[in-house]
Amino acid sequence: MKFGRFLTGLGVLIVVGVAGAFVYAWKPEIAPIKPPERASFDQALIEHGAKLAAVGNCTACHTNPGGKSFAGGLTIPTPFGTIHSSNITPDAETGIGTWSEAAFQRAMRDGVGRKGEHLYPAFPYDHFTNVSDDDNRALYAFLMTRQPVKATPPPNELPFPLNVRLVLAGWKMLFFRDGAYQPDASQSEEWNRGAYLVDGLGHCGACHTPRNTLGAEKASLHLAGGEAEGWSAFALDGSSPAPVVWDEEGLYTYLRQGWHPDHGVANGPMSEVTGNLGLLPDSDIRAMATYIASIVGEPSAERRAKSEQLLQEIKSGPITSAIGNDQSALGGKGAAIYQAACAACHENGRPQPFGGLDLRLSSTVHAPDAQNAINMVLYGLPAASGRTSAIMPGFADVLTNDQLNDLLGYLRQHFTDQAPWGDVVQRAADTRTGKYHVSVRPSDGIERGPSNIGAEDQ
């Protein structure tokens, strides 16, 4: 599929990488230190760092499901190969215990490890470079006071020449601009705070901005919708598929509590994000909402009117009865499946976040592609062990791909005004086999599902 383009890109990368190596690549080692004592950090600074680490969602990549926090080892599949996250506990041998603050600052700002090695951009330093020195200092204080864990992640599985870190210098030369966030004087303080969090530590664009063939975010399509761990990360700009228009209040509510009555619960990798944001003060959440709302922009009058009309319709209750008599008109099978397998939860009036969402409100069903809908129907929302969380059973082993196609075809037709998806059967097949990798997790945010439940065992 994309492999041809990828090979071309690879060629470019090699050439640029070799050139870059001479002018750009070499970085000195920063001397190791003895892991600092907890007492050497101010408690308030550590606590501030904890909040920042939550914004950065550090634990998501640096904790293996069921493993120790920040000890790394999580498998991160990329189009270029498999990367395993590093141990960022202060263990001297296997973690970052010997990193001075300067080394940490450099990693965040420039994407360079303590020994001078270039880091893979799976570590989103293209965003973290925005983080202020002060915030990095707090993050450092937080990470260096975690429980040290001795754990070495498995080696990355990358093809030559990508396994040569020097190549990354070329990538950086092409796509990476370092430097702390510079406020936009024409915007409010709140907006600037939001931009700092969203584009910096929050690295929202890492998922929500589309990437080019070399895996770099397309700057011109900032937050225009991307991909994360097998899920579509919906557009946060005007092209958002959300049936109800996102506004500042809606975004605030959603980011604050991880769900919104008009949008449903955060799922896929987003649930971890909203789970972590729980630590943030309201003011920061508000700032993020303000900034993102400005990206969403003012909807057209038509869009606004449609959104409001939908909310009115929702108020008058579910549309069960209509569906019940609808089977012949709308391709029968899908309607019957929805009615029998889905409606009991999705139309029983139980409110969010624990009830099934009225699918008229679902961004997933309105989305440009079927991937999230496939993921949700196949794998659902597994229960979060020991926490309250919305649960949706997966139907992977119940529905054949044809039945799934019937169902999604019906959902698309009945609940949206969007064109049908054309590739459900193929996508579903690729998702099931693991060719297209999907990570599945509960909706509560912190906890991951057990490995990639999506893929069939090899």
Partner 1 sequence: MKLNVNGSTHEVDADPATPLLYVLRNDLELNAAKFGCGLGQCGACTVMVDGKAIFSCLTPILLLEGREIKTVEGLGTIDSPGPMQQAFIEEQAAQCGYCIPGMMMRAQALLQSKPDASDAEIQTTLEPNLCRCGTHMRILKAVKRARELMKTAAMAPASGERKV
Partner 2 sequence: MNAPRFPNVTRRSLLLGTGALVVSFSLKDHAFAQEGELNVPAKPPEPVATGPKLPGSLADTPSLDAWIRIDADSSVTVYTGKAELGQGTKTSLRQIAAEELEVPPASINLITADTAITPDEGFTAGSQTVQNSGTAIRNAAAQVREILIQQASSKLQVPADQLKAQNGRIVGPDGKSIGYGEVVMTDMLHVDAQPKSKLKSPDAYEYIGKPFARVDIPAKVTGGPAYVQDMRLPGMLHARVVRPPSWFATLKDIDTASIKAMPGVVAVIRDGNFLAVAAEKEFQAVQAMRALTDLAEWEETPRLPNEQDLPAVLQKSESEQGVVAEAGGDFTGGITTFSAQFMRPYQMHASIGPSCSVAHLDNGTMTVWTHTQGVYPDRKAIAQMLGMPLDKVRCIHTEGSGCYGHNGADDAAGDAALIARALPGRPVKVQWMRDQEHLWEPYGPAMLTKVSASLDVSGKIVNWKYDLWSNTHSARPGSAGALLPGQLMASGFPPDKPVMNITPLGNGDRNAIPLYSIPNMRVLWHFVADMPVRVSSLRGLGAYANVFSIESFMDQLAKEAGADPVEFRLKHMEDPRARKVIATAVEAFNWSSDPMPEGRGRGFAFAKYKNHAAYLALAMEIDVDKETGKIRIPRIVSAVDCGEAVAPDNIRNQTEGGIIQSLSWTMYEEVNFDNTRIMSSDWSTYPILRFSAVPGTLDVHIVDNPGSPYLGVAEAAQGPTSAALANALANATGKRLYNLPFSPARVKATLGV
| Residue ranges of the binding site | 58, 61-62, 204, 207-208, 342, 345-346
By CB under 8 A, tell whether 458 contacts partner 1: no
From residue 400, how far is each of 344, 346, 397, 439 by CA, in Å?
21, 21, 8, 20
Annotated binding-site ranges for heme c: 58, 61-62, 204, 207-208, 342, 345-346
From residue 106, how far is each of 61, 124, 392 by CA, in Å?
20, 13, 43
Residue of 45, 50, 345, 429 that binds partner 1 (CB under 8 A): 345
Residue of 139, 277, 392, 455 that binds partner 1 (CB under 8 A): 392
**CB closer to partner 1, 242 vs 343:** 343
- Six token digits for residue 102: 């300067």
Residue of 69, 82, 132, 403 that binds partner 1 (CB under 8 A): 403
The binder of 380, among partner 2, partner 1, none, by C-beta within 5 to 8 A per type, is partner 1
Which of the ranges 152-160, 202-210, 236-244, 381-389 carries the binding residues for partner 1, by CB under 8 A? 381-389
Which of the ranges 146-154, 246-254, 368-376, 398-406 carries the binding residues for partner 2, by CB under 8 A? 146-154
> What does the angle CA 369 – CA 374 – CA 378 come to, to the nearest 5 degrees?
170
Residue of 84, 146, 256, 263 that binds partner 2 (CB under 8 A): 146
The binder of 399, among partner 2, partner 1, none, by C-beta within 5 to 8 A per type, is partner 1
Picking from 223, 232, 226, the residue whose alpha carbon sits closest to that of residue 251 is: 223
Size of the site for partner 1 (CB under 8 A): 23
Residues that bind partner 1 (CB under 8 A): 336-337, 339-341, 344-345, 380, 382-383, 385, 391-393, 395-399, 403, 450-451, 457
Residues that bind partner 2 (CB under 8 A): 46-47, 49-50, 59, 63, 66, 68-70, 142, 145-148, 344, 348-349, 354, 383-391, 446-447, 450
